[in-house]
Every structure is written in C-alpha cells, then in structure tokens.
Chains A and B, each alone.
Chain A
Amino acid sequence: MERWSNVFVIWIFFCLLTGCGAHRAKRDMIVLLPEPDAKGGAITVTTKGGSQIIDNPGHATEIEDSNKPPMTPKSIEEKEIKDVFGPALAAQPDPADRFVSFILNFEHDTTKLTHESKNLLPEILQTIKNRKSKEVFVVGHTDLVGTEAYNIELSSRRANHIRNLLVSSGIKSSGLYVSYYGKARPLVLTKDHVPEPRNRRVEVIVR
C-alpha cells in the first residue's frame, strides 16, 4: 500500500516539473516590461486575425495562430519572464549608456517654469557639458485644456523658451533640436480638457 502512495507522490512531483502533459503549446509570446523611464508605454500586437493592446507591465499575450487574434493579455510571473527572456534581458546594454532625459514643468498656460524646474536648469547644463553633447533634443508638450491648435502653439513657445535659455547659457544652437506636439502626447493620460500639471512640460534629452 505504502509503495503505491510513493509512486503517486513521485507522479505528482513529476507532473509539477513537466506541466503534466498539459502540452504547453509552443506559441509566440510578447510581454510588456516595466520601465521606469517609459511610463504610460503600451504595445499593440496585430495578427491577420486581429489585435490586442498591452498597457500593463508584466502582462503578456501569446499567438496561437496568425489567422486568429492574439490571446487576451494576462499577467505572467517574473520567474517565467526570466526563464524565457533571461539571456536576452541580460544582454540589454547598460542603462548608463542611455541618453539622459529631463522634464521641465510649467505654470498653467504660460512659458513660466515651476520653481522646482527652474532649479533643474544648472544640472541640465552641466550634463550637456559633461557629456560634450552635440545633440540636445527639446520637446514641448501641454496638458489637455484648450484646443489642439492653441496647444501646438503653446508647446512651441515652451520648447523655444527652453531652447533660448540654453543658448543664452552658452549651448551651441546648431546642436539643439526643437520639436513640439501640443496636447497629442500627454505623460499622464487624462480626459480632454482636464488640467494636469505633469503634462505641461518640456522634455530635454541629452545625447
């Protein structure tokens, strides 16, 4: 009797190890990963059969058949991410090699920097100098209050204001690239016409 119970235990153990012939199909998998510098990121996975949006870090979708839509995204365990993607993730280049990005915030409907952001300017200048950067990107945004056209103009004024500040602090204008997007790319997703201080911003990206 006892012998049989041993066999049973071994069988259960074996099951746990192998997935018990549940026949885990070999499917393509796409997982959104957490990234502190890219909050609000999302991916859309589209097959011939349809598409799925993944906007939750740690969620994954699988593709059974390219003629069917991708499966509904669901949370997967960190261990599984490590098992499947460990070597690829370990080969990601060093974050220290990344461009450095700063966010400057503004008072409502103005090109006036908030107090905290004003204090950030010396650090930005120092970073540009330390890196001997020949390319600095200045990208303007607004929150979702007001019309598209008005906000395009406001984001342009904000970005150019920062550009001019950098130039007057001795940064060569030939290395400064200004772009602006109005209300099209909020950092924090809100409904239209909602004031949101974090969206009133200029991003300065230093190569």
Chain B
Amino acid sequence: MNCKERLILPLAIIFFLLSIGGGVPPVNASPSIAIVKKLSGMATVVRQECTISATTGLEIWKNDTIRTGPDGSIGIIFNDDTFLSLGPDSILVIDEFVFAPKQGNFSIAIRVLKGTAAYLSGLIAKLAPEATHFKIPTASIGIRGTKFAVKVEKE
C-alpha cells in the first residue's frame, strides 16, 4: 500500500461506517483537528509514515508530526482556537486533540521535541484548563490561559 492509499483508507472506512450508520449524524466525520494558516520555507507533516509537504490550508490530524526545515516556519490554528507556530529546525508531535463541546470532552496533548514554538491558548484552556498537556523533553508546562514560547535545544 503506498502513501496515498494509506491516507485514503481511513477516510473510506469512515464513509463506509457512516453509510451503514444510516441516519446517524456524522459526528467527527472529518479527522481534521487544525489547519495550516501560515507558512514560509520548508515544512512537512509526517502522517502514518507518509511525509506530506505542508501548504496553507492543509488539514492537520491527530498523531501528525510537523517538522520545519532550516529556513522553515509554520503556523496552525486548532479547532478550539489554539494558535501554535514553529520556527526553523523544529519538531512538534500532536498526541491528542479532542474538542467536542456538545459532549463536554476536551483534551490537547502536544510535544515539542526540538527547535522553537509559540503557543497561544484557545478555548480548551478556558473550558477545561486541566485538559491541556504541553511537553518538551526536559519538562512539562502547565498552562493557565496565556501565550508563551519555548526553545528546545536537544532532540
């Protein structure tokens, strides 16, 4: 199975499940949890062993790894209005993202493994502050509705 097929398969499964689900409304039909809003230089998204070149408007999924090149930077907006951006030579992993106000479920778990990142908290921080988990290799960062930046020296 090549890269593209591997990406299409989960979507096909979702559509299949939806089609047999009949009248069930398509809750979380889209795996998109964030969207690329700003981009300069080289940035890639690693998704299920596939590497995708980032473009503005690209949807970000849970478990994506975002990398920037030596001249790259990228800014994304999560569905809950959390803003996250990376400077050059940076690596970010999104381990978890749930924003389901109807069900009252909220969770965001992010790791910056290398480089620089700036973070502006969104609605999850307001509605469920305990549900935000931000980590770097040497520390974890607890957030009370705010904006901050991190620099990680070693991967």
Please, which residues of chain A bring their CB within 8 A of the CB of B115?
88
> How far, in angstroms, from A89 to B148 measured CA to CA in the complex?
10
Shortest distance between the CB of A152 and any CB in chain B (Å): 15
How does the 8 Å CB contact mask read for B110-134 relative to A, with 1 for contact and 0 for none?
A: 0000011110111100110000000
Q: Main SS of chain A's interface residues?
A: mixed
Residues on B close to A: CB < 8 A? 37-40, 73-77, 81, 83, 85-88, 90, 101-102, 115-118, 120-123, 126-127, 136-154
Given contact pairs A31-B150, A45-B142, a sample of 6 additional A-B residue pairs in the complex whose CB atoms are under 8 Å apart = A28-B139, A66-B138, A87-B40, A98-B83, A137-B123, A177-B102
B123 lies within 8 A of A70 (CB): no
Number of interface residues of A (CB under 8 A): 47
CB-CB under 8 A for A38 and B147, given A66-B139, A88-B85, A91-B87: yes
A135 lies within 8 A of B150 (CB): no
Whether a CB of chain B sits under 8 angstroms from the CB of A85 is yes
6 residue pairs, one from A and one from B, having the closest CB atoms: A41-B146, A88-B87, A44-B142, A91-B85, A66-B138, A35-B147
CB-CB under 8 A for A139 and B120, given A30-B148, A86-B87: no
A93 lies within 8 A of B73 (CB): no
Please, which residues of chain A bring their CB within 8 A of the CB of B120?
35, 38, 92
B88 lies within 8 A of A46 (CB): no
